[in-house]
Structure 1
Amino acid sequence: MFEGNHSRVAEFILKGLTDQPELQLPLFLLFLGIYLLTVLGNLGMIILIMLSSHLHTPMYFFLSSLSFIDLCYSTVITPKMLVNFVTVRNVITYPECMIQLYFFLIFVISECYMLSAMAYDRYVAICNPLMYNVTMSYQVCSWMIGGVYGIGVIEATIHTVCMLRVLFCKANVVNHFFCDIIPLLQLSCSSTFVNEVVILCLSTFNFCVPTLTILSSYSFIIARIICMKSTESRFKAFSTCSSHFSAVTVFFGSLAVVYFQPSSVSSKEQGKVFSLFYTTVVPMLNPLIYSLRNKDVKLALNKLLRKKAIQM
């Protein structure tokens, strides 16, 4: 319960992407299509990896976990956004808002560390291939994935607990299409100093540690690729790593713009646009990026389709 004369806000109104009615239906259809592709791509990737025995390797173990994360945090955000496109008042209750914030943070933080784990896996595979099976054993991979989700849960809990102590009085219009930390804090009628310190510390940690891990891994990988004598091996390694690095760049780049830009009216609108990249676009693109240039995935898909055709 809130103390004093402060009345508790029971619901928030999500301002959404645009106030223009003529854009609501086109945007609804656009993001519905993106969400369906996201579900199909990520769920398909998970099922394909589960059913194809030759994809039961650390690389695809991490990839299936990445697909699960993308599927989950896209589902946390997009369905509510789609509903808001076709309703008059984009209302979300206070408990629903906190739940959405909590699960969004779990999965978006987990993705940061999952991408760094995947970069380390590629580093071991290319730079130290003889020790790959020992270094990236099933037990090690399980511990790494457990650590990824553990960090996500712990940090999301910290952020959410800090948000629950914030007072919301009269202002309840969130200038965003989902309940994110910064837009919510802008509505607070109490001190947000603790929240801001927590955001600064954890955001810096979540950005610097994974990016340094990724950049270090790919620096060693590039040096190793340059030293390869076989043109075919060099091309295969570069093709795999370039697709990984492109996905990482889009994800971390959009996150950096949203959480490290100065606060202003124009930056708020830009923030919503860049938020679309890591909440809707990246989860849709990741299965395509990791599969279209991957011969193993294409081979597994062809075998599975032929097997189903024979059974029919």
Structure 2
Amino acid sequence: MNKDPQKINLSLVSHTNVGKTTLARTLLGRDIGEVGDRSHVTTEPEDYVLLRAPDDSELILWDTPGFGDSVRLAERLKARSNPIGWFTSEIWDRLTDKSLWLNQQAIKHVRDKSLVILYLVNASESPEAVPYVKAEMDILAWVNKPVIVLLNQMGEARPPEEEKAEVELWRDYLKPYSFVKAVMPMDAFARCWVQEYELWKEIESCLSDADKPTFASLHATWIRQKQALYSSSLEAMAAYMVKVSNDKEVLASQSLIDRLRSIGRSLGFIKKDLHGAMEDAQVALSTRAADWLCTLTQRLINI
């Protein structure tokens, strides 16, 4: 249950080392957590305010430890209802298998805290070829919350029909799981910003009527912020284009020797790199344009 009507809690979960924290950084627009090419970089759930509306409502994103041994984790969760299973999960695993115990604590937290779960998968692999996906569906079934599956690592842009076929492959595979409400692309690096709009729509469709007013306030705030970022980016790019297009170098009247050199180079008679006034002016203009482009790029990154 949502403990605070002014908060919408989302949990980002996946198999270990699939890219949760990287995607969390993308959605949050800032560096959080630790990213590394190894398993179990994140060891416990960490919460971040993704958005705060003027009415003080908040959208909270939880970055969670990646599932390691998903099959054993699913078995542990199923067995928790009996005393022996509870003892194994809470006492034995804590002493003998800290990673498995942390996973159990994290998934309990997800169940108790979150309204919607964002489940990240590696889209470069076929769902049938990844043995842990079925076990993780059992884990998410135990959590019993709406799940949106996000396809990460989709690679370079391809024809729309190919990307659509990849999404449909995952949708077909996950059809038996009624708690999976949507499957959509959301690459941490190669995504299109429009995908974030689609993600908001899917999250809203998963919420109860009681939570939708809070979400509506957050959604309106998010749209205003994104539109402001978009406008700022356009203004920065427009200012760069105006600056470059208006830049100029005033040349003195070209001497006869410079004219002959230019003609000679254009006809191929002169191979040696002899710079005249025109060439110097071109170098100066291109150098400034390159510097301004670097400045623009940094400004867009800051925005």
Per residue, is there more helix in 1 or in 2? 1
Q: Which has the higher contact order (CA 8 A, sep 6+)?
A: 1
Please confirm whether the aligned pair reaches a TM-score higher than 0.5, indicating the same fold.
no
> Greater Rg, structure 1 or structure 2?
2
- The TM-score with structure 2 as length reference comes to 0.28
